[in-house]
Chain A
Amino acid sequence: SAVISQKPSRDICQRGTSLTIQCQVDSQVTMMFWYRQQPGQSLTLIATANQGSEATYESGFVIDKFPISRPNLTFSTLTVSNMSPEDSSIYLCSVSGTEVISGNTIYFGEGSWLTVV
């Protein structure tokens, strides 16, 4: 299957600052998604990262808070802006539609653990 790498894997951030999470895939993918998982909760989709255009955000998530870039078919970034303790979560990159995986199954990276203090 495709290898999905996220950086950083873990970070502790000061409130009011911003952090950019990177997602790199070892093959071209059709779709890239960003999820959030708050402590003890299930996964919630933040947005679909669209190559060459603005991301498509889910209800409750806005571009000013979670700007997303996707400059090509193998890379995307998610920025968590003006962080507060409520943003402490695992942020997960996921992909589908790869050259090496058939059936449009969605695969996940290992996640980026953010703690805001």
Chain B
Amino acid sequence: DAKTTQPPSMDCAEGRAANLPCNHSTISGNEYVYWYRQIHSQGPQYIIHGLKNNETNEMASLIITEDRKSSTLILPHATLRDTAVYYCIVRVLAAGNKLTFGGGTRVLVKP
């Protein structure tokens, strides 16, 4: 069962930061927070993951609250190509552990 809650949709303006929230109040101590996105007609694309510290890479930043019950994915300068469904997933970091997808957030970047 999916263990995360995300808003079903959100709009953001091109060039502005997009902040995507995710609630995971039942997260276990050994579960990581993963973010993927799926652009229409493509396979899901890995974005970032983290355990408790904030993480940043070339695509996005991940901010995890101190109690780890929620997180925010930040796209610093949204472009039209960032329009996609964004999935927040919690998962134990081990090779055999699968991803369980929820409904995700449908993000529309507007010019």
Residues of A within 8 A of B (CB): 1, 4, 30-31, 33, 42-45, 48, 92, 94, 96-97, 103-111, 113
Contacts and interface: CB of A to CB of B under 8 A. Distances in A.
A100 to B, nearest CB: 13
Contacts of A4: 43
Contacts of A44: 101
B100 interface: yes
Interface of B: 34, 41-46, 49, 87, 93-104
A105 B49 contact: yes
B103 to A, nearest CB: 6
Given A103-B49, A104-B94, A111-B43, A42 B99 contact: no
Nearest to A4: B43
Contacts of A108: 43-46
Contacts of A45: 98-100
Contacts of B87: 42
A53 to B, nearest CB: 13
22 contacts: A33-B99, A42-B87, A42-B101, A42-B102, A42-B103, A45-B100, A48-B96, A48-B98, A92-B43, A94-B43, A94-B44, A104-B94, A104-B95, A104-B97, A105-B34, A105-B46, A106-B99, A108-B43, A108-B44, A110-B42, A111-B42, A113-B41
B interface: dominant SS:
loop
Contacts of B97: 104
Contacts, number: 52
B95 A30 contact: yes
Max chain B CB contacts within 10 Å: which of A1, A43, A113? Answer: A43
B6 to A, nearest CB: 11
Given A33-B98, A42-B101, A42-B103, A104 B93 contact: yes
A58 to B, nearest CB: 9
Contacts of B102: 42
Contacts of B99: 33, 43, 45, 94, 106
Contact of A31 (B42, B43, B93, B96): B96
